[in-house]
Structure 1
Amino acid sequence: MLALSLLLAFPVSTLGWSLTGPSAVVDLAVVRGVESGNVEKFLGIPFAKAPRFKLPVPVPRYYGIVDAKEYGPSCPQQLTSSSLTARSLEEVNVPRQLLRRDGSAESEDCLSLNIIKPKIARASDKLPVVVWIYGGGFEVGSTLGYDDVSTRVVEKSIAAGTPVIHVAMNYRVSALGFLASKEVKKERLGNFGLYDQRVALQWVQKYIRSFGGDPGKVTIWGQSAGAISVTLQMLAFNGKTDGLFHAGFMQSGAPIPVGDITNGQADYDALVAQTGCSKSKNTLDCLRKVPFPTLQAAINASPNFLSYNSLALAWTPRVDGVFIKDEPFKMVQQGRVAKIPIVNGNMDDEATIFSTSQSNITTEADFREYIKSIYVKKATDAELEPLWSLYPSTPSEGSPYDTGDDNALYPQYKRIASFQGDLVFQAPRRHFLQSISGKQKIWSYLSKNLKAVSGPYGSFHGADIQYGLFDDYLIQFVNTFNPNLPSGPNWPEYTKESPDLYTFTDTAAPSVTPDKFRAEPIDYLIQLASTQPQ
């Protein structure tokens, strides 16, 4: 009866199966996937249950036949909106994952993972493993939305003669993944989405041998919120990897300046009010029980990363005292971070696509009020005074950089894009790398690709993933824990004494430049963020 109850808890299909096609054995089950060219895909494998606003419950054991021929449902997505026009999207091909849903079914029971492997790989091969964590502002994202990226990486690794096993997991996003309040803190919970990722990494350790992977050589890889997630996994439980991963590759994301989980109280209270839970004696328990459409409508009413509030996220990882013990900036400064080899870099114009919904900000006074009311509500006027000259209204000083006075979508656009890009991406990366340099192997980069073809968005956030700019370096890193290709210019390690960036452009081979651009304003933002965590 016990085996039957476990099977019912994590149902698998057992009827109507052909015995052809790729398969793998896990526990007392056969996992059956599909072939796609020279790769095999095992899709939608459930790895945990996701009880609402509680920690994930891992699959205890597999029995029977696991149907792994189709992607599982995505975790519920927050509705996002943007002022970007359809024409502008077509012109620069802004990653679709940031702007619209991928069309997949959604379910709260969404914790599944996918494995893409070379067809020739056998269980005894012990190939290096790359585990992908998708981005999406911690509000949207799914593994299905990146199927083309995931497949492309594995196919390129085969062609290069350095094959890898690719794993990707769905994890909870938006309020379902990152609800924050005193009520959540009281139960010593929070950061459910990060726990989901952690359980998936535990699954990899337990089962990846069955698919030809080496559990002793796992690189976690992410972009945007996925890259931030990689760094937070490095900070988890005061820097413990628990042997779950051995290297990290981060594109456009570093430990962000967030504070205590109670800082999310206002958005929690709004959710409680909009779901009719205000009069409940236990509002968190009420939120767990409200009909999902009611909860989803309330979540969709909260600010999103493409709305006016932009990157001042409502639903984001925060300090819960358990998974994230302290403010990430402090933990990095104190060395409470996993000492593994990493690559961590940025695009040049990280925040342009997040700065299109503020077109009503046209004056100096508008800009100052926006920054004070959205990003640094507790800062004094004296503390903020340097910012106004460090981020001037002169279009030629703004982002997209190096484009003169061009590309000013509205009077304060390039200024806001510059400020947001530095605050959320460049300053956290520089602070992270300079704090841990000398303690582990580090490589960093700056991409100025696509400036000539993407107009007001420049080298925009997500372009590196969309166009596979770093696929070859990623594959090399997953195999050797060093991104240097067999041929090409040397990519030196990043140190505090020599903070070298491997810098990419459309017009020349990569070159080495110092990580000293906008030194004064970025140093100011690091100091400000350290004292004003969100």
Structure 2
Amino acid sequence: MFIRMIFFAIALKGIPSYASGTSTGPIARLDSATVIGITGDSVTKFLGIPFAKPPARFRASVAPDAYQGRLDATKYGALCPQQQLSAPDTGIPEITQIVNTTPELHNAPGVESEDCLTINIIKPNVKDHSSHALPVLVWIHGGAYEIGDTASYDDMGSDLVKRSVALGQPMIFVSFNYRLSAYGFLAGQEVFKDGNGNLGLRDQRLALKWVNKYIGAFGGDNSKVTIWGQSSGAISVSLQMITNGGNNEGLFRAGFLQSGSPLPVGNITKGTGQVYYDFLSADTGCSTSSDTLECMRALPFSVLKASVDKTPSFFSYQSLALVWHPSVDGVFLTDNPQSSVQQGKFANIPFVSGVCDDEGTLFGISSLNVTTEDQFRQYISSVWLPRNPAPELDQLWTFYPSDITLGSPFNTGTQNALTPQFKRASAFIGDSVQQGPRRAFLQKASTTQKVWSYLNQRSKSTPGIGSYHGSDLATGLVNDNLINFVNHLDPNTGHGVHWPNYDSHSPKLLTFPVTGPPLVTLDTFRATEIAYLTNLSLAHPFVL
């Protein structure tokens, strides 16, 4: 499952400072600069605008100086450095095709650069909307904090803007890059002392501030910003809601989360963060330096990247027990996010949070070598819950049994058993990372604000992985609901069954069944099992 913008001074609020139809392309004005974009099929784009100074490695990003001169905004900027991936071979062509065509599951094409913090705006052509300022949808891409970019979502953003016009609810789409992998989420005692943890999340916050300051120059209303993400992008949305004690600083008025919620992350000085800091330091030859962090800052990029790419990715055995991830750093996150949720320390804004039925299957394929009861227990206790005493896990083996008819893909009987333990592991991963955190967040938030939730059971026939993580995004399942939410803070479109608010006493979901129209169901599936996992994570936050 992060972003921001800025509002250029204009004579009257609501009249966009924007001109088009010149021989050089559409124009926007930022400070003293003229920004040149491109106009295509019903949309205008301003791409690759730097929203920060070129970032110093392992240091927080800084807002740019006032823009001057002419700025070419006709193409996407460089990729932020990606973590090298190697997807497991399941022997199932459909899974291979999904991995190869889903942006958050494979390395993006393009040139990588540490100078990558750019932002993009896609808006309706001037003729397609009136002169009033438009609501803004800010997209935070996924990729498990290891990979991802914005150019890969160009079609998605353009199609959403066109659809918003067709529905008579025009809006502006914004996307941005943020630092990933070790470049954005280096951890360890040294990073803590330096005060430079969670840099990827801080990049997102800076982008959101840029939106707040400048989106008016593109015809957007900075008081009507919705932040939207999927997977780690959705987790990021939730963490933007949690940071700063829940004070969103007026940067966004709503959130839309697809397959991501606040996770139970640990302290930046402990666990795998220190382990892999030490690995990078040793592997790059910096461990003998008197200041290992400064040594790694000074390394040639190619040397650092070669070491980072040796570390596990989300397609490694550890799966979503990630090496590079948000952590409690005392600056951006001052507590375990799930504890912050329990304390009500998050932005009081309306939001939507939805999931797919088989969230864990795409990541269960990382552990296909886990085939026996003993191997499953070792996998869970050593990789996922290493800080939980063994007696605390006794119930887990019963709650998540080896009976393949009870695993994920759920309700598929004896089908999809890629190994004797695959469906079991997939059920555990999905409930730990997606279903449990989503339910815990909604249960608490529904007592203070308007929230909605959905469950996607479509794509259940996908071999091996069923209604897999990201299948809702791939099919645009809730696009119309999203557009309506951006405009009216209500995901109901006026068509079909009414989508009720989530209520802690009667937790209703808009469910998209395997076939047929959506219907309303209760969010009570696997209630005992998921509550047990949530309690485990609150007692001993596992680092994801």
TMscore range, shorter length: over 0.9
Give the structure 2 partner of residue 38 of structure 1. Answer: 42
Does structure 2 retain, via aligned residues, the 8 Å contact 1:149–1:465? Answer: no
Q: 2:324 aligns with which of 315, 338, 343?
A: 315
Alignment of 1:424-443 (within 5 A): 424-443=433-452
Kindly state the Cα deviation for residue 210 of structure 1 after the two structures are TM-superposed.
Answer: 1.0
1:159 to 2:162 alignment: no
Aligned length: 516
Residue type at the aligned position of 2:350:
P
Kindly state the Cα deviation for residue 475 of structure 1 after the two structures are TM-superposed.
Answer: 0.3
- Tell me the distance in 1 between the aligned counterparts of 2:316 and 2:63: 35
Give the structure 1 partner of residue 344 of structure 2. Answer: 335
Q: Which runs of 5+ in 1 are unaligned?
A: 1-17
Give the structure 1 partner of residue 453 of structure 2. Answer: 444
Does structure 2 retain, via aligned residues, the 8 Å contact 1:174–1:315? Answer: yes
Give the structure 1 partner of residue 526 of structure 2. Answer: 518
1:470 to 2:475 alignment: no
- Tell me the distance in 2 between the aligned counterparts of 1:199 and 1:226: 15
Q: Which runs of 5+ in 2 are unaligned?
A: 1-21
Instruction: Tell me the alpha carbon deviations over residues 161-205 of structure 1, each in whole angstroms, 9 at most, x when there is no partner.
Output: 111100001000001111111111112220000111111111111
Give the structure 2 partner of residue 259 of structure 1. Answer: 266
Tell me: CA distance 1:94–1:402, structure 2 relative to 1, closer, same or farther (3 Å): farther
1:28 to 2:32 alignment: yes
Give the structure 2 partner of residue 276 of structure 1. Answer: 285
Alignment of 1:366-445 (within 5 A): 366-445=375-454
Kindly state the Cα deviation for residue 506 of structure 1 after the two structures are TM-superposed.
Answer: 3.9
Secondary structure of 1:128's partner? strand
Residue type at the aligned position of 1:246:
R
Q: 1:74 aligns with which of 76, 79, 98?
A: 79
Q: 1:129 aligns with which of 128, 131, 136?
A: 136
Give the structure 1 partner of residue 117 of structure 2. Answer: 111
Does structure 1 retain, via aligned residues, the 8 Å contact 2:105–2:143? Answer: no
Farther off after superposition, 416-425 or 21-30: 21-30
- Tell me the distance in 1 between the aligned counterparts of 2:121 and 2:250: 20
Give the structure 2 partner of residue 59 of structure 1. Answer: 64
Secondary structure of 1:57's partner? coil
Give the structure 1 partner of residue 538 of structure 2. Answer: 530
Kindly state the Cα deviation for residue 124 of structure 1 after the two structures are TM-superposed.
Answer: 4.5
Kindly state the Cα deviation for residue 95 of structure 1 after the two structures are TM-superposed.
Answer: 4.6
Give the structure 2 partner of residue 9 of structure 1. Answer: none
Kindly state the Cα deviation for residue 158 of structure 1 after the two structures are TM-superposed.
Answer: 1.1
- Tell me the distance in 1 between the aligned counterparts of 2:329 and 2:171: 35
Kindly state the Cα deviation for residue 159 of structure 1 after the two structures are TM-superposed.
Answer: 1.1
Kindly state the Cα deviation for residue 505 of structure 1 after the two structures are TM-superposed.
Answer: 2.0
Deviation >3 Å, runs of 4+: 89-95, 121-124
Over the aligned positions, Cα root-mean-square deviation in angstroms equals: 1.4
Q: 2:253 aligns with which of 222, 229, 246?
A: 246
Give the structure 1 partner of residue 7 of structure 2. Answer: none
Kindly state the Cα deviation for residue 90 of structure 1 after the two structures are TM-superposed.
Answer: 5.6
Does structure 2 retain, via aligned residues, the 8 Å contact 1:94–1:462? Answer: no
Kindly state the Cα deviation for residue 370 of structure 1 after the two structures are TM-superposed.
Answer: 0.4
Residue type at the aligned position of 1:374:
V
- Tell me the distance in 1 between the aligned counterparts of 2:105 and 2:238: 24
- Tell me the distance in 1 between the aligned counterparts of 2:99 and 2:320: 21
- Tell me the distance in 2 between the aligned counterparts of 1:389 and 1:172: 40
- Tell me the distance in 2 between the aligned counterparts of 1:91 and 1:395: 25
1:486 to 2:477 alignment: no
Kindly state the Cα deviation for residue 98 of structure 1 after the two structures are TM-superposed.
Answer: 3.1
Instruction: Tell me the alpha carbon deviations over residues 429-480 of structure 1, each in whole angstroms, 9 at most, x when there is no partner.
Output: 011111222201000010001112x111111111111111111110000000
Kindly state the Cα deviation for residue 57 of structure 1 after the two structures are TM-superposed.
Answer: 1.2
1:305 to 2:311 alignment: no
Kindly state the Cα deviation for residue 215 of structure 1 after the two structures are TM-superposed.
Answer: 0.2
Larger RCO, structure (CA 8 Å, separation 6 or more): 2
Residue type at the aligned position of 2:123:
K
Kindly state the Cα deviation for residue 125 of structure 1 after the two structures are TM-superposed.
Answer: 2.2
Residue type at the aligned position of 2:84:
L
1:296 to 2:305 alignment: yes
- Give the TM-score taking structure 2 as reference length: 0.93
- Tell me the distance in 1 between the aligned counterparts of 2:106 and 2:433: 22
Kindly state the Cα deviation for residue 508 of structure 1 after the two structures are TM-superposed.
Answer: 1.4
Does structure 2 retain, via aligned residues, the 8 Å contact 1:95–1:466? Answer: no
Secondary structure of 1:488's partner? coil
Does structure 2 retain, via aligned residues, the 8 Å contact 1:359–1:413? Answer: yes
Does structure 1 retain, via aligned residues, the 8 Å contact 2:188–2:277? Answer: yes
Kindly state the Cα deviation for residue 101 of structure 1 after the two structures are TM-superposed.
Answer: 2.0
